[in-house]
């Protein structure tokens, strides 16, 4: 839970911004520490006065909170602090390139920090809403939190924008727009009708088999060899039809196929740059799934190996299906096609940071 604790603290700080909440103490400090770490990763020495002004203006970390935030980062060895007496002169970020900042800060929080009742309740609520929207009454019963504390946390969540309340079929449904981005009213209606367990089960099966063709779900009632109930099949089709999962499509010949992915997170979790990487990753997986599960003549037997080959060598061997199969990758500037004969095409990766990142996002 350590990594998730830091992620939820980051989300909470992003929502609260400069809003002062007396119920929160250490959770906001952890959120600020995660925010600062994400923003200074890879930088050189930073003068304290510059950092103090920039972090206040751009990251909503007030000056009075910066020192305890820096102490957290120093404790996990993400920065070095240089002082003259008690005055901080500068810091040197020391965050390993491939280190997950949330993991290190989360481990610190688990070992060194004791959250108060409201903070623990907030983390529990966000953890529940991360997987799927939930009915407010059922979530309260499930968590067993004091009623006043629960209501206060929901109110704070609503004020910060991290928790949304939707009325569907007479039920109050809680959804976090941080974790679900598209057609939230439609999503609330699904939860009110089918219930969270059915939706959660369907989403879990999609998550375990990202990029599965929608037509195969309808024809076989399965995803990745796992059987879906009739309700789950209907839920998956409804999620796709109402734009909640927005499946990418590939046209080949006269056919069009949609490929299933879990719902996109909101803009806080997926900023503009990361959204581009995410969409390119979906296009890559969809193209490979098409060759694996819906081939015209040449079946892809090892999808992971194909992606690794594209990443490592920068191209895939020629085949007659490449032009249709990889057209979306050309449109998204992930790759380009080279014709090697009258009917054969070779896929070449456009080596950019975004495309390299997309190949690692699996």
Residue 53 lies in a domain: yes
Rounded CA separation 79/346 (Å): 46
pLDDT number for residue 357: 84
Query: How confident is the model over 102-110, as a mean pLDDT?
Result: 92
Given 75, 97, 115, the domain boundary residue is 115
The dihedrals phi and psi of 297, each to the nearest 5 degrees, come to -140, -35
Helix H or strand E segment including 79: strand 79-84
Residue 98 lies in a domain: yes
Token pair recorded at residue 252: 């080949």
pLDDT confidence bin for 63, thresholds 50/70/90: very high
Residue 61 lies in a domain: yes
Residue 189 lies in a domain: no
Q: DSSP per residue over 308-362, as a string?
A: HHHHHHSEEEEETTHHHHTHHHHHTTSEEEEE-SSS-EEEEE---HHHHHHHH--
Of 271 and 135, which is predicted with more confidence? Answer: 135
pLDDT number for residue 275: 74
Helix H or strand E segment including 272: helix 272-293
Residue 134 lies in a domain: no
List the one residue out of 287, 300, 360 whose CA is nearest residue 327.
287
Domain with 331 in it: 272-360
List the one residue out of 204, 195, 202, 191 whose CA is nearest residue 233.
202
pLDDT number for residue 243: 83
Residue by residue, what is the 3-state secondary structure of 290-310?
Answer: HHHHCCCCCCCCCHHHHHHHH
Given 115, 148, 164, the domain boundary residue is 115
pLDDT confidence bin for 101, thresholds 50/70/90: confident
Residue 327 lies in a domain: yes
Residue 326 lies in a domain: yes
- With 0.95 as the threshold, say if the pTM is over it: no
Given 59, 94, 115, the domain boundary residue is 115
**212-213/255-260 β-pairing:** antiparallel
Rounded CA separation 179/136 (Å): 17
Domain total of the chain: 2
pLDDT number for residue 3: 82
The 3-state DSSP class for residue 86 equals coil
Instruction: Say if residue 271's pLDDT is above 70.
Output: no
Residue 309 lies in a domain: yes
Supply the CATH number for residue 282's domain. Answer: 1.10.10
Helical pair 184-194 and 196-207, crossing angle rounded to 10 deg? 120
**From the CB of residue 169, how many other CB atoms can be counted at a distance below 10 Å?**
10
Rounded CA separation 114/118 (Å): 12
């Amino acid at each position: 839970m350590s990594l998730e604790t830091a992620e939820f603290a980051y989300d909470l700080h992003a929502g609260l911004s400069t809003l002062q909440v007396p119920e929160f103490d250490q959770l906001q400090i952890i959120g600020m520490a995660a925010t600062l770490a994400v923003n200074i990763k890879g930088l050189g020495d930073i003068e304290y006065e510059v950092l103090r002004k920039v972090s206040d203006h751009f990251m909503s970390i007030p000056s009075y909170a910066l020192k305890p935030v820096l102490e957290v980062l120093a404790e996990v060895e993400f920065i070095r602090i240089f002082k003259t007496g008690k005055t901080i002169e500068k810091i040197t970020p020391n965050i390993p390139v491939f280190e997950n900042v949330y993991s290190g800060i989360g481990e610190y929080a688990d070992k060194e920090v004791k959250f108060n009742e409201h903070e623990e309740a907030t983390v529990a609520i966000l953890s529940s809403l991360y997987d799927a929207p939930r009915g407010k009454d059922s979530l309260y019963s499930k968590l067993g939190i004091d009623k006043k504390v629960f209501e206060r946390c929901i109110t704070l969540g609503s004020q910060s924008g991290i928790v949304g309340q939707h009325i569907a079929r007479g039920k109050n449904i809680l959804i976090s727009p941080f974790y679900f981005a598209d057609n939230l009213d439609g999503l609330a209606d699904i939860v009110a009708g089918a219930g969270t367990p059915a939706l959660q089960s369907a989403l879990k099966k999609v998550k375990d088999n990202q990029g599965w063709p929608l037509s195969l779900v309808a024809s076989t009632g399965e995803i990745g060899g796992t059987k879906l109930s009739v309700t789950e099949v209907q839920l998956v089709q409804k999620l796709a039809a109402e734009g909640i999962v927005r499946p990418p499509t590939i046209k080949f010949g006269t056919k069009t196929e949609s490929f299933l992915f879990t719902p996109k997170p909101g803009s806080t979790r997926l900023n503009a740059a990361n959204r581009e990487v995410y969409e390119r990753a979906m296009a890559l997986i969809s193209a490979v799934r098409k060759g694996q599960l819906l081939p015209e003549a040449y079946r892809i037997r090892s999808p992971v190996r194909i992606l690794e080959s594209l990443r490592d060598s920068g191209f895939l061997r020629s085949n007659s299906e490449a032009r249709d199969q990889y057209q979306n990758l050309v449109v998204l500037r992930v790759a380009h096609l080279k014709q090697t004969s009258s009917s054969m095409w070779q896929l070449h990766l456009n080596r950019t940071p975004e495309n390299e990142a997309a190949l690692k996002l699996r």
